[in-house]
Amino acid sequence: MSDYPQLETMEINNLPIYTIETEVPLNDQLTASRNVYIQTNLTANRLDDESENYREYIQTIDIGIQTTSIDIVLDDNVTNERQQATNQRGNTRENVAHPVDGTNENRNREVTRGGRQTGRSEANPNTDRNRSNQRNRHNTKKINKENLKSDGKDPSPILGYAEEPLLPLAQACAPLNDIFHNLTFYVDLALRETPEQPPDGLTINESAAIRLYTIEWDKPHRSLYSTLNYNLKNNDRPALLPFFKYLKLFLTALVKLPCVPPLTVWRGVTMNLSAEFPPGSAMTWWAFSSCTTEMTVLENNMYLGQEGDRTLFSVEAINGRTIKAHSHFVTEDEIALMSGTHMIVQSQLSPAPNLYIIHLKQVEPEMITLEPPFEGAHIYPKIPRPFYRKKRFIIPTCLLLTLLIAAVVIGVILGTKSKPTKYVCDNPFEPFDAVDTGNFPSSSVLGYFDNDTYIDVAIANSNDNTVSLLLGDKEQIFRSTRPAIGQSPSSMISVDLNNDKKIDLVVANTDDDTVSVLFGLGNGLFLDAVHYDVGQGPNYLTSADFNNDGQPDLAIANRDDMTVSILF
């Protein structure tokens, strides 16, 4: 009998744990990898792939690492009759040491040192190391393509981030330390790469926040932006809450950057998405989008390549930001489109087999899709108003004042101007001096034959076949000339026949059936009469432009043959 009789009747249910003595090197002992993490088939799938925005993504399963040489026993009653052994890092099922099979094969060859196995990974669904991101990493689910775009009617999944305080980068990323492996290293790297005086008026922490967004790092997480955009495209607000402090700093930096002028940027996806973007439809991209201004970059196999189904987005961007000066990759001309970019599908084109081009036009949405990170910030460029809109009240007021002043001045001038004395004829039949003309005057006309301001008179004399010209002057004395015309002039008119602004005379001669034309010289003298044959006994004539050629024409009434002669 032993010294402990109570143990003789106890059924031993504790099972031994077989372990493998392992060694995990420190960070400074690794030469080829910054992250100490064992990659297996379970973690080979990336959490997100920004070059394939619309693929179905498979989330990874949390991985535990069995380390140290420890035997742990646990009563079956405590574990609800499930035979297992646990430690703080991982579980070993069925109480045996499993060999490294194909599923858990160590693919990071650089992690082994001196031929010794440095670790062994096993899927551990019971380990909650990334509690704040548990929803993203513990459940394997497929993401439907419809979740990756929105019509813009849903609220932003990061609504409320602007209420967070503006913190230094290290503090802003503190809630993410449980989500991203070795995040502190990359935060320090971003800060070290940031100059003391960043361009565009950004602070060191603001510039480093953009730089951290662009850094690619080792497994298990490809980058911060891939996880962030993955959750944005899934509209997974609970998974985005730990990012709010970082987003406050990141978006503050982006908004401070000047908007590039409206231009066309390009983005490629290795899928056929033409059916998902019918022309005329509106949609909102919740993820941050990195675009390029050069299509040749997309031919690289890292982006579109030259084979397989490819969709090329041509985006007319209005609020893109150039982040080259703050990027980890200083040679890339990268244009960043912010979360909540709202666009209208303009058209589609398939210029080559398996290549689809979708033309998108960014518009400012009616509802707010992204909160400004601080008061006075502009998500979209502030369109300068034309000067006449800025001064739409000043200009009409000035015009009104000008009109009032002009009216007053004109009124004063007209009011002070002496009115001419109106002439009143008290005795219209005063004695007058007779003026001699020719024999038997039959017709007369008035006009300014010498182009002065005094009226002149022309009189046709029937018996002596002449025209008497009485030219007026300031003394009201008439000077007379008598050019010869046809026989028995009976009617006369004055008209400018040749449009030389000098009055001419036309006389109808009854006895010789002609019309005499006297072209004026503008000084009171006339050229010799030119005679034109008309009907019999012309006794009346008039002038007008009968054929609309811009030249005066003549119409003569012939008394004897009862006709009218027209001279063009």
Output the CA torsion 129→208→299→265 (10° steps). Answer: 120
| CATH architecture of structural domain 157-383 | Alpha-Beta Complex (3.90)
Q: What is the pTM of this model?
A: 0.47
Closest CA to 513 of 560, 473, 443: 560
Q: Are 315 and 338 in contact (CB under 8 A)?
A: no
Q: Which residue has the tokens 């030389």?
A: 500
Mean pLDDT on 233-243:
94
Class of domain 441-567: mainly beta
Closest CA to 175 of 220, 228, 219: 228
Confidence band, pLDDT 50/70/90 cuts, at residue 188: very high
Q: What percent of the chain has pLDDT over 90?
A: 42
- Beta strand 479-481 pairing with 84-86: unpaired
Cβ neighbour number for residue 15 with a 10 Å cutoff: 15
Q: Are 268 and 309 in contact (CB under 8 A)?
A: no
Separation of CA 527 from chain center? 74
| pLDDT tens digits, one per residue of 32-49 | 333 333 333 333 333 334
Q: Are 173 and 164 in contact (CB under 8 A)?
A: no
Q: Domain residue spans in the chain? A: 1-44, 157-383, 441-567
563, two tokens: 């006709």
Q: What are phi and psi of 207, to 5 degrees?
A: -65, -40
Mean pLDDT on 386-404:
76
Mean pLDDT on 297-326:
83
Residues 6 or more apart in contact with residue 553 via CB below 8 angstroms: 543, 544, 545, 546, 547, 566, 567, 568
Strand partners of residue 355: 310, 352
Q: What percent of the chain has pLDDT over 70?
A: 66
Give the 3-state DSSP-derived string for 218-271, with helices as H, strands as E and coil as C.
CCCCCEHHHHHHHHHHCCCHHHHHHHHHHHHHHHHHHHHCCECCCEEEEEEECC
Closest CA to 507 of 491, 496, 521: 491
| pLDDT tens digits, one per residue of 189-204 | 999 999 999 999 999 9
Q: Which residue has the tokens 């922490």?
A: 205
Q: What is the mean pLDDT of the chain?
A: 75
CA dist 18 and 95 (Å) reads: 7
| pLDDT tens digits, one per residue of 319-336 | 999 999 999 988 778 899
| pLDDT tens digits, one per residue of 416-463 | 766 666 766 666 666 667 777 888 898 999 988 888 888 888 999 998
Q: Are 362 and 340 in contact (CB under 8 A)?
A: no
CA dist 14 and 9 (Å) reads: 15
Q: What are phi and psi of 467, to 5 degrees?
A: -120, 125
Judged against a pLDDT cut of 70, whether residue 501 lies above it is answered with yes
SS3 326: helix
| pLDDT tens digits, one per residue of 6-20 | 444 444 445 444 444
**Same fold: 157-383 with 441-567:** no
Confidence band, pLDDT 50/70/90 cuts, at residue 135: very low
Q: Which residue has the tokens 């000066």?
A: 325
Judged against a pLDDT cut of 60, whether residue 27 lies above it is answered with no
CA dist 98 and 19 (Å) reads: 9
What letters, b where the CB count within 10 A reaches 16 and e where it falls short, cover 139-151? Answer: eeeebeeeebbbe
